[in-house]
Amino acid sequence: MTLWELSEPVSRLRGVGGATARDLANLGIKAILDLLLFVPRTYEDRRTPASFGDALQHLTASDSARVNTRARVVDHSYIGGRSGKRTLKVQLIDGSGRNASLLCFGRNFLASKLPPGAEIRLFGHFQHRYGELQASGFEFEHVDAPGGAFDRILPVYPLSGSLTQGGVRRLTETALAHYGSHLVSTLPAPSRTEGWTTSAALHSLHFPEQVADAESARKALAFEEFLLLQLRIVREALIRRETTRSKTPLPVERRRTLARALPFSLTDDQERAVEEIHSDLESSQPMHRLLQGDVGSGKTLVALLSAVACIEGGYQVALMAPTELLARQHADNAARMLEPAGIRTAFLTGSLKRSMRTPLLAALAAGEVDLAVGTHALFTAEVTFRNLKLAIIDEQQRFGVLQRAALQAKGPETDLLITTATPIPRTLALGLFGDVDISTIRTMPPGRKPVVTHLARAGNEAKVYERVRAEIARGNRAYFVYPLIEEGVTEGIKNATAMRDMLAGEVFPEARIGLVHSRIPEEEKEATMAAFSRGDFDILVATSVVEVGVDVASATCMVIEHAERFGLSALHQLRGRVGRSHLQSYCFLLYSEELTDAGKERMRVMHRTNDGFEIAEEDLRIRGPGNVVGTRQSGFVRLHIADLAGDFALLQSARHAAERVLADDRGLLQPAHQPLRAALGAFSERVIEG
């Protein structure tokens, strides 16, 4: 078995019960594979000793010092004592002849494990307080215990909930022993990075012999992952390149009539994009095109106009959106714009009742629907089209890269148009989409005023709320966005549910306020969105569900609380919900005091520019390598260990490697490629479904 097939849940491991499984899931760890590829935040070298004496010398320069020593317990005492809560203090001496104390907050039970006279190995970060060396966070082992956590390099993981370093280390050690050590290497020997077998690389990722080995091993594994991604993408591209069809001239009459009927004229960039798409649609090779442009630049309109030409030619079109909310909005817009011209539209989502779905599927198969708008439900095997020509995937960044293949499979020569508001540098686009043509809309429709962005520190909400009140008094609308749906595990973070009540009860008693988030039933969510865009609500309180594509022209305020908890591209998308008409709009970013450096940078970038291209570049730069958990999920594709920004060079070499492999073994049928083939199958499944 290869690494990539280890999809068994972590709960298979001894010691992983419900609570631990939940904590691990918060870190993105569900399968054994996730655990094996869980990248340590850093490593702790416990081979070099540091005595109490060394620590004291160090402490003249900094406020805490590392200790890694052998010590003897001298005595116990107790500190505190108010309200009966006493804390054990264990006094020690080590070979340097110096003393130190361990403060055992909440761990008085250690008294019996550390009796006077006990000889231990000790690791911890010590401070100089009350005239002595003290530590409250420490690890120890009895010197005669079978060795474990000393004299070696140890991984330090990101943690969550009640996980401990020791606990996670035991889990990775167990997983390595039971699953990681007898893996079939994914790559044949000549293709391995610096000779790493998969098993050796996994072992060194967690427990390296030398610190430098860990990064080399991580790169080898990241290369494996990129190679799988590239094999999938390059193979699709090869098949596409070989697919030819007869040229299909398409009529343009209806499209032109509809465009003329719009209350505005298309921008030059939109005109050009429509033409580029049209000539792809007529050509003898299926289209594979990315339409990129900032939020509100008019991409969806371009996509719909392109659909009209196909429909007039007698074909069907599918438009897929990332959320039900957005799909519903597109369906409504499409119906309003296209049905008067005799175009038959339909809306399909996973929540559609069977009694409705059956006749709809029959109509699609019979060619009685011209344009199907929906969510990923459009992909499922039960959906068949009579003659699907064009598949439009709106706002690609929300989909797994490979999902589009499933939709394309609905018609062998299907043209594919992907729209995205996240500008993707060309080189990266190649790595993510294979061969792809790009149309770019750079200019916004005329008359738009750039959104004015204000930063405010938490505590200054009142001022922001007053600005919003003034806008509402003028008949405009506002969004309030929060990072959580309800009271969560993280204390002190505002949530949408409670804030809706607070805003309605205390701040804006005069306003009508709606609430949307992902746990509200779909019908209710849609009704609320519709009411907000009609003007029946003044304020919409939400989570990031409003992030993508939602279009309410009279919304002029976007208030984001705990803005530091959102990534740059999410902030930019959210801000794009306002400023969609001639009205001056505002974005208020409320951030907490404890900003990380990256958090500060994000706020600064948002304040400085409205340009989505610039923001995308800053995003890549700020996140860079050495990512924290979660950002590996770049929004384009969910990778386990490779990082699109930090490992960009690896992505390119993986692409070349994939081209070489496929050039002489398209089906990966050679015996040496057998593990690769198995891994690719499992990997594709994970990425497509995950």
Which residues in this chain contact ligand ADP in the complex, by CB under 6 A? Answer: 264, 266-267, 270, 293, 295-301, 445, 551, 580
For 645, phi then psi, to 5°, come to: -80, -55
Q: In whole angstroms, what is the distance from residue 208 CA to residue 200 CA?
A: 10
Short-list 203, 149, 168, 207, CA closest to 27: 168
Least separation in angstroms between residue 349's CB and Mg ion is 18
Least separation in angstroms between residue 295's CB and ligand ADP is 5
Q: Which is nearer to ligand ADP, 68 or 422 (CB)?
A: 422
Q: Which is nearer to ligand ADP, 55 or 301 (CB)?
A: 301
Which does residue 585 touch among Mg ion, ligand ADP, none (CB within 5 to 8 A, set by kind)? none
Tell me the CB-side half-sphere exposure of residue 213, using CA atoms within 13 A: 17
Among 549, 579, 612, 635, binds Mg ion (CB under 5 A): 549
Write the DSSP assignment of 475-503 as a string of letters: T-EEEEE-SBSSS-SSTT--BHHHHHHHI
Tokens 């972590």 appear where?
10
Q: Which is nearer to ligand ADP, 202 or 441 (CB)?
A: 441
Strands 119-129 and 132-135: antiparallel
Which does residue 296 touch among ligand ADP, Mg ion, none (CB within 5 to 8 A, set by kind)? ligand ADP
Q: Which is nearer to ligand ADP, 58 or 442 (CB)?
A: 442
Name which of residues 233 to 272 contact Mg ion (CB under 5 A): none
User: Under the criterion CB under 5 A, does residue 298 sit at the interface with Mg ion?
Assistant: no
Q: In whole angstroms, what is the distance from residue 570 CA to residue 329 CA?
A: 20
Which does residue 612 touch among Mg ion, ligand ADP, none (CB within 5 to 8 A, set by kind)? none
Q: Which is nearer to ligand ADP, 271 or 413 (CB)?
A: 271
Least separation in angstroms between residue 615's CB and Mg ion is 17
Least separation in angstroms between residue 534's CB and ligand ADP is 15
- Give just the sign of the alpha carbon dihedral 595, 598, 602, 608: positive
Q: Which is nearer to ligand ADP, 131 or 263 (CB)?
A: 263
Which does residue 400 touch among ligand ADP, Mg ion, none (CB within 5 to 8 A, set by kind)? none
- Give just the sign of the alpha carbon dihedral 664, 669, 673, 678: positive
Least separation in angstroms between residue 645's CB and Mg ion is 25
Which does residue 297 touch among ligand ADP, Mg ion, none (CB within 5 to 8 A, set by kind)? ligand ADP
Which does residue 295 touch among ligand ADP, Mg ion, none (CB within 5 to 8 A, set by kind)? ligand ADP
SS3 category, 610: coil
Q: Which is nearer to ligand ADP, 361 or 441 (CB)?
A: 441
Least separation in angstroms between residue 311's CB and Mg ion is 19
Cβ atoms of 448 and 442 closer than 8 Å: no
Size of the site for Mg ion (CB under 5 A): 2
Q: Which is nearer to ligand ADP, 299 or 673 (CB)?
A: 299
Q: Which is nearer to Mg ion, 231 or 291 (CB)?
A: 291
Q: Which is nearer to ligand ADP, 551 or 617 (CB)?
A: 551
- The angle formed by the CA atoms of residues 427, 429 and 430, to the nearest 5 degrees, is 65
The one segment of 70-78, 229-237, 296-304, 652-660 that binds Mg ion by CB under 5 A: 296-304
- The angle formed by the CA atoms of residues 616, 620 and 624, to the nearest 5 degrees, is 165
Short-list 422, 450, 482, CA closest to 556: 450
Helix (H) or strand (E) holding 245: none
Least separation in angstroms between residue 514's CB and Mg ion is 22
- Give just the sign of the alpha carbon dihedral 58, 59, 65, 70: positive
Which does residue 398 touch among ligand ADP, Mg ion, none (CB within 5 to 8 A, set by kind)? none
Q: How many Å is the maximal CA-CA distance in the chain?
A: 94
Residue 568: count other Cβ atoms within 10 Å of its Cβ. Answer: 21
Which does residue 2 touch among ligand ADP, Mg ion, none (CB within 5 to 8 A, set by kind)? none
DSSP at 47: S
Q: Which is nearer to ligand ADP, 4 or 347 (CB)?
A: 347
Least separation in angstroms between residue 225's CB and ligand ADP is 32
Q: Which residues contact 30 (CB under 8 A, 6 or more apart)?
A: 9, 10, 24
Q: In whole angstroms, what is the distance from residue 138 CA to residue 136 CA?
A: 6
Least separation in angstroms between residue 550's CB and Mg ion is 9
SS3 category, 159: coil
The one segment of 21-29, 438-446, 514-522, 543-551 that binds Mg ion by CB under 5 A: 543-551
Least separation in angstroms between residue 264's CB and ligand ADP is 4
Using CB positions, name the residue nearest to Mg ion.
300
Least separation in angstroms between residue 496's CB and ligand ADP is 23
For 413, phi then psi, to 5°, come to: -110, 20
Short-list 98, 46, 89, 95, CA closest to 70: 95
| First-to-last C-alpha distance (Å) of the chain | 21
Q: Which is nearer to ligand ADP, 152 or 448 (CB)?
A: 448
User: Under the criterion CB under 5 A, does residue 573 sit at the interface with Mg ion?
Assistant: no
Which does residue 193 touch among ligand ADP, Mg ion, none (CB within 5 to 8 A, set by kind)? none
Cβ atoms of 100 and 135 closer than 8 Å: yes
Strands 477-481 and 539-542: parallel
For 441, phi then psi, to 5°, come to: -105, 110
Least separation in angstroms between residue 308's CB and ligand ADP is 14
Q: What is the CA radius of gyration of the chain?
A: 29
User: Under the criterion CB under 5 A, does residue 300 sit at the interface with Mg ion?
Assistant: yes
User: Under the criterion CB under 5 A, does residue 612 sit at the interface with Mg ion?
Assistant: no
- By CB under 5 A, name the binding residues for Mg ion: 300, 549
